[in-house]
Amino acid sequence: MSGPSTLETNRAHQHERRWLILAVVALAQLMVVLDATIVNIALPSAQADLKFANDDRQWIVTAYALAFGSLLLLGGKIGDIFGRKWAFIGGLVGFAVASAIGGAADSFGVLVVSRALQGVFGALLAPAALSTLATAFTTPQERGRAFGIFGAVAGGGGAVGLLLGGALTEWASWRWCFFVNLFFAAIATVGALVLMRNEANPDRPKIDVLGSVTAAAGLFLLVFGLSRTETDSWSDRTALISIAVGIVLLVVFVLIQRRVAAPLLPLRIVLDRNRGGAFLAMGVTAVAMFGVFLFLTYFLQITKGFSPMQSGLAFVPMILFVLTGSILSNVKLLPILGARRLITTGMLLGAVGLFFLGQLTAEDSYVAHVLPILPVMGFGFGLIFATSFNTATAGVARTDAGVASATVNTMQQVGGSIGTALLSTIAAHATTSYITAHPTAQGAIDGAVHGYTVAFRTAGSIFVVGAVVIFLLIRPHVRATPEATATTEPAAPTPGVEATA
């Protein structure tokens, strides 16, 4: 009797404090998401201080992506088995220590190691954060609000990183782009210790070692290969071999998951049409959205001469509309329109914005030619992120919530890596071709912008294709009735989840 009684008491405790837990989780998620962009702003200053070569610069970004992307599934499973509270706190503390090492780094090697450690602990932290929300909020209306806020943080965190990174680099030091994580982590850790209750899997299934190794190695090689193509082109033998072996290992991973008793990623999670569509939407969005942050930042800083701080401020309108779209979609629109309409609408809005940016020239201004489209794109991203997070974790058993959450983050991370490699290669080729045809000083300026616009249009095309696929994949929405709520409404938990809550 003591076990179930304690379990129900812990769940009741978390349910009573669910809105405060949301604030803690959102803060931790913001730290993880903004860290992907805040360091980009700090890179030039860090390079000048530590004196490493341009060719080494990519490893500051890649080390984080490799560790984070390859270990997410394992991190999610650890939280499911041993409890999300301690996975969450362990991720926070480890991330903070890694950030402190990065901020105090006196060499390039130490900085790379700190970024890899951030990725390791981020892979433990991110799934625990999302799965905590998935189990704490069970009613459709409250779940909608919670995931709207969480989606806004996930969608706008990258832009916040640009703003915060610009401010810290310009007014303090690049090292504070790492040290600032200590404040985020300290507040979130105290909040987690006070508010959360641990809920471990009483059966304590064995970790799928073979599945964990093949998944981690496959994702590592895939992300590594894609990262190499950014600097060494798609003809680089090492990159192509890494991508090919990574894909083979991921196929082997799927075959293993079909046969083991306690799989790392139960295939039932992915094969559900709505949930699989949400996973795919996150990956496609990460591929296409990369063009906004990377190439628009290049356009503003290199072509228009914006400072890092000015570039960060330039993204504020988009952040505000990401927040608006996220909250509105999950609170008001999802129960009425369903995930299929919201996600495809968000992708089409993103495509409109990217095609608009695809017409930029070197003479165009931010106010007249960039600012008007940022709210449209931000609102579209908000519809996608919040709805996808909600749909991807709705109806998942508590024992699978962590790995389902990890899969969302994995799709976002791998999608971002694909976007980095694909769009950077396309933009570089377009710029080279333009400059070759226009060998003048003005041709060099116009060529760079031409590369950006080709990347924007390519990302817009990816969004259009993604919208069509998602529309066909996710089930048509049926207005919920008391009898059908659990099976037709993506935002609602299944009866089994409600019973255990």
Q: What is the pLDDT of residues 34-59, one digit of tens each?
A: 877 787 777 778 888 998 876 677 78
**Per-residue pLDDT at 205:** 67
Residue 367 near residue 310, CB atoms below 8 Å: no
Report the distance separating Cα 455 and Cα 460, nearest Å.
9
**Dist. CA 118–CA 39, nearest whole Å:** 12
Q: Dihedral (C-alpha) 63, 65, 69, 70: value to the nearest 10 degrees?
A: -20
* Cα(132)–Cα(19) distance, integer angstroms: 12
Query: Which residue matches tokens 């009573």?
Result: 16
- What average pLDDT does the chain have? 83
pTM of the entire predicted model: 0.79
Which amino acid makes up residue 393? T
Cα–Cα dist 13/143, whole Å: 17
Mean pLDDT of 122-150: 82
CB 407 within 8 Å of CB 73: yes
pLDDT recorded at residue 489: 39
Give mean pLDDT, residues 160-171. Answer: 81
Is the pLDDT at 2 greater than 50, yes or no? no
| Residue carrying structure tokens 């989780």 | 25
Q: How confident is residue 412, by pLDDT bands cut at 50, 70 and 90?
A: confident
pLDDT average, residue stretch 173-198: 91
- pLDDT surpassing 50 at residue 202: yes
Helices 401-437 and 273-298, packing angle to 10 deg = 40
* pLDDT at residue 373 greater than cutoff 90: yes
The two structure tokens encoding residue 56: 């080494």
Model confidence pLDDT, tens digit, residues 226-280: 777 766 677 788 889 999 999 999 999 999 988 888 888 888 888 888 999 999 9
Instruction: Report percent pLDDT > 90 for the chain.
Output: 35
Amino acid identity, position 180: V
pLDDT in tens, 478-497: 655 444 444 333 433 332 32
Own/partner long-range contacts of 311-314 (Cβ < 8 Å, ≥24 apart)? 311/41, 311/162, 311/166, 312/41, 312/159, 312/162, 312/163, 312/164, 312/165, 312/166, 312/167, 313/163, 313/166, 314/366, 314/370, 314/371
**What pLDDT sits at residue 497?**
29
Mean pLDDT of 463-488: 72
**Residue 490: what pLDDT?**
40
CA 387, 21, 191 angle in degrees (round to 5)? 140
* Percentage above 70 pLDDT, the chain: 89
Distance of CA 259 to the CA centre of its chain: 30
8 A C-beta contact, residue 280 and residue 411: yes
